[in-house]
């Protein structure tokens, strides 16, 4: 698959990815699950680079779901540490290549060190315009929807809005994706065919692409294959 096979005038503006299969990949290699997550960071780099070549404007990665807290403590801590280190270590390079970093999810539920590195990197890159890399951290779509409902109810209670004014647009403005367009393409790796509580509202019209490739094996070429498939539907 080469970039020349892709119609660059019809590339999805927003691609979302459920990065799945790190644990199975590690097991296949006879390694600990965390090793899979480490190699998964390489796949993030490759995918981001390819997305920039394709001129994708928003790339959303499901990095840590609310359900991930059910994992073994050691894996959970390791994954958090990896996220903090990666964000801290990559911030300068992301900035240099014009990436704007954003986050969706219940960020207040992350360890303080993670929140701190994240806020710093978001602030540093806030003026960049090449691509927005959206990390879904401690994210769950039902949490996001419930949160929007609570906030709107509060505003109604305080007489700030009338119930007649509750429209799709108003609801959307209360989601953590309020400044981000809906994804046109959603990719899930590792052969699972589920949405797993990811972007339930935003994926109403999204095209899905499923691949058996495990996330640590995913490359820029795989992203191009997904975009090519999307363009030929």
Interface ranges with ligand FPP (CB under 6 A): 19-24, 37, 40-41, 44, 61, 63, 68, 82-83, 86-87, 135, 190, 215
- Nearest residue (beta carbon) to ligand FPP: 23
The residue behind tokens 């590195």 is: 117
Among this protein's residues, is 106 annotated catalytic?
A: no
What single-letter DSSP state applies at residue 182? P
CA-CA-CA-CA dihedral for 205, 206, 210, 215, to nearest 10: -150
Of the residues 20, 22, 38, 138, only one is catalytic, namely: 20
* Smallest gap from residue 70 Cβ to ligand FPP (A): 11
- Which of 89, 96, 94, 183 minimizes the C-alpha distance to 136? 183
Comparison of 117 and 144: residue with beta carbon closer to ligand FPP: 117
Q: Between 14 and 37, name the residue whose CB sits nearer to ligand FPP.
A: 37
CB closer to ligand FPP out of 6 and 84:
84
20 catalytic residue (yes or no): yes
Min separation Cβ 5 and ligand FPP, Å = 27
| Number of helical H runs and strand E runs in the chain | 7, 6
Q: How far is the CB of 48 from ligand FPP (least distance, A)?
A: 9
17/227 with CB nearer ligand FPP = 17
CA distances from 201 to 136, 139, 154 (A): 15, 13, 21
CA-to-CA distance for 176 and 173, rounded, in angstroms? 8
CB-side neighbour CA atoms (13 Å) of 58? 21
> 189 with 214: CB under 8 angstroms?
yes
CB of 92 to ligand FPP, least distance (A): 14
What is the Cα–Cα distance from 42 to 36, expressed in whole angstroms? 10
> So which residues are the catalytic ones?
20, 68
């Amino acid at each position: 698959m080469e970039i020349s096979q892709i119609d660059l005038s019809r590339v999805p503006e927003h691609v979302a990815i459920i990065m799945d299969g790190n644990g199975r990949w590690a097991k296949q290699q006879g390694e600990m699950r965390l090793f899979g997550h480490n190699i998964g960071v390489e796949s993030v780099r490759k995918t981001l680079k390819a997305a920039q070549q394709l001129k994708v404007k928003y790339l959303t990665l499901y990095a840590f779901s609310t359900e991930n807290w059910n994992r073994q403590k050691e894996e959970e801590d390791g994954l958090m540490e990896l996220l903090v280190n990666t964000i801290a270590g990559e911030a300068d390079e992301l900035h240099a290549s014009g990436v704007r970093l954003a986050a969706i999810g219940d960020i207040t539920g992350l360890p303080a060190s993670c929140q701190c590195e994240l806020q710093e990197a978001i602030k540093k890159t806030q003026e960049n315009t090449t691509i927005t890399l959206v990390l879904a951290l401690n994210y769950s779509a039902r949490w996001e929807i419930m949160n929007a409902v609570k906030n709107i109810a509060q505003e109604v209670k305080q007489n700030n809005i009338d119930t007649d004014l509750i429209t799709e647009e108003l609801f959307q403005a209360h989601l953590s994706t309020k400044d981000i367009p809906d994804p046109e393409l959603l990719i899930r790796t590792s052969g699972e065919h589920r949405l797993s509580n990811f972007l339930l509202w935003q994926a109403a019209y999204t095209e899905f692409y499923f691949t058996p490739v495990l996330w640590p094996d995913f490359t820029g070429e795989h992203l191009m294959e997904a975009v090519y498939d999307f363009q030929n539907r």
